[in-house]
């Protein structure tokens, strides 16, 4: 089995057709079919079912396809790993969640550089659930997430205020803080369960306890967040200050009343699977030192 065989199989799996895959790979159909047959013989499993209606994956083919993303990502990282090794650096793959303050991370990078100059970071942006999968698959060594992952070791490294972004004309724009009760009767956009499974449940329960009837709009936040909020008529967006400045620069950010100790803060944990991976302990210690220096 060669790497090219996996590339051929992935193309067929993605396009669902030998003919379409052959065109994309600039090969003839018989040649591609022979290459797939060689892969099946090498693995000892049938990977594809062929029928007049097209090509589908067998259970073995589905299993292989599920692993190929990790395999090809690891292969793509080989040049970066070799460059670091050539200068005796220890490369640590680190996950970054959306909304993480750049200023805090830069300070951590400076602390790490002073303490462990041979540790080099490779950064990968992903939400907490994505980072959980990457840690499980070995694609990152440490992650920074917005909720605890019980199956992994973790330490709280950053706590900051949570609040809402509102248009300049909002009655909340002149406030120094707000409570969930102040959102009664408003359309409010917040992170979907896909990004933070616990947040949606927590906010709904807290709003109900406060007697606030909120028209919730749970969405995945992205570069189009402001457009989504404006087009949906959202009156407020629950969000951290860093993300508000990035996605809603013309809106006013207002912090949530600190009396609500559960909902008024965003917590960030560093999580890891194997502390013995070279450079991981150094990264954790540098993050903790960065947090202590701010306290």
Under DSSP, the state recorded for 178 is: B
Pairing of strands 142-145, 265-272: antiparallel
Query: What's the pLDDT at 295?
Result: 52
Q: Where are the beta strands (DSSP E) in 104-152?
A: 119-125, 142-145
143 touches 283 (CB < 8 A): no
Helix (H, G, I), strand (E, B) or coil at 279: coil
Residue whose token pair is 């013989």: 41
**CB of 109 within 8 A of CB of 121?**
yes
Write the CA distances from 221 to 28, 31, 176, 254, integer angstroms: 43, 44, 25, 18
Is-contact 281 116, C-beta < 8 A? no
16 contacts 50 by C-beta, under 8 angstroms: no
Q: At what angle do helices 29-43 and 3-15 cross, to 10 degrees?
A: 110
Helix (H/G/I), strand (E/B), else coil: 52: coil
Say what the pTM is. Answer: 0.76
Of 239, 253, 190, the closest CA to residue 217 belongs to: 190
Closest CA to 132 of 196, 202, 222: 196
Q: What is the model's pLDDT at position 76?
A: 80
Q: What is the distance between the alpha carbons of residues 48 and 30, in angstroms, rounded to a whole number? A: 15
- The structural domains of the chain, ordered by start, are 3-67 (1.10.10.10), 78-157+269-294 (3.40.190.10), 158-266 (3.40.190.290)
DSSP 205-233: HHHHHTT---EEEEE---TTHHHHHHHHT
Structure tokens at 46: 């049938």
Q: Are 216 and 204 in contact (CB under 8 A)?
A: yes
Residue 187: per-residue pLDDT: 95
* pLDDT at residue 3, as a whole number: 84
Running along the chain, 295 residues long, what does each successive block of 10 average in pLDDT? 85 87 89 89 89 83 85 80 79 92 94 95 91 91 92 94 94 94 95 75 90 91 89 94 92 94 90 93 96 75
**What does the buried/exposed string (b/e) look like for 211-238 if buried means 16 or more CB atoms within 10 Å of the residue's CB?**
ebebebbbbebeeebbebbeeeebbbbb
φ, ψ dihedrals at 11, nearest 5°: -65, -45
């Amino acid at each position: 089995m060669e790497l090219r065989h996996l590339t051929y199989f992935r193309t067929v799996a993605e396009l669902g057709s030998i003919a379409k895959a052959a065109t994309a790979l600039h090969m003839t159909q018989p040649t591609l079919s022979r290459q797939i047959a060689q892969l099946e013989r090498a693995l000892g499993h049938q990977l594809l079912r062929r029928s007049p209606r097209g090509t589908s994956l067998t259970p073995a083919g589905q299993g292989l396809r599920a692993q190929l993303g990790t395999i090809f990502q690891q292969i793509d990282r080989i040049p970066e790993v070799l460059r670091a090794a050539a200068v005796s650096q220890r490369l640590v793959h680190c996950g970054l969640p959306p909304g993480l303050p750049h200023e805090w991370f830069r300070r951590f990078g400076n602390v790490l550089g002073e303490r462990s100059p041979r540790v080099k970071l490779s950064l990968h942006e992903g939400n907490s659930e994505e980072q959980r999968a990457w840690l499980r698959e070995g694609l990152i060594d440490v992650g920074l997430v917005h909720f605890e992952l019980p199956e992994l070791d973790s330490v709280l490294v950053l706590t900051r205020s949570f609040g809402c972004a509102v248009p300049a004309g909002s009655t909340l724009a002149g406030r120094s803080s707000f409570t969930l009760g102040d959102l009664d009767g408003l359309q409010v956009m917040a992170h979907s369960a896909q990004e933070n499974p616990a947040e949606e449940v927590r906010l709904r329960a807290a709003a109900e306890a406060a007697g606030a009837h909120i028209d919730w709009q749970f969405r995945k936040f992205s570069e189009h967040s402001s457009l989504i909020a404006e087009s949906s008529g959202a009156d407020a967006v629950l969000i951290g200050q860093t993300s508000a400045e990035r996605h809603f620069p013309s809106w006013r950010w207002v912090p949530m009343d600190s009396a609500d100790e559960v909902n008024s803060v965003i917590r960030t944990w560093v999580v890891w699977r194997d502390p013995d991976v070279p450079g991981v302990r150094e990264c954790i210690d540098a993050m903790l030192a960065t947090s202590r220096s701010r306290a």
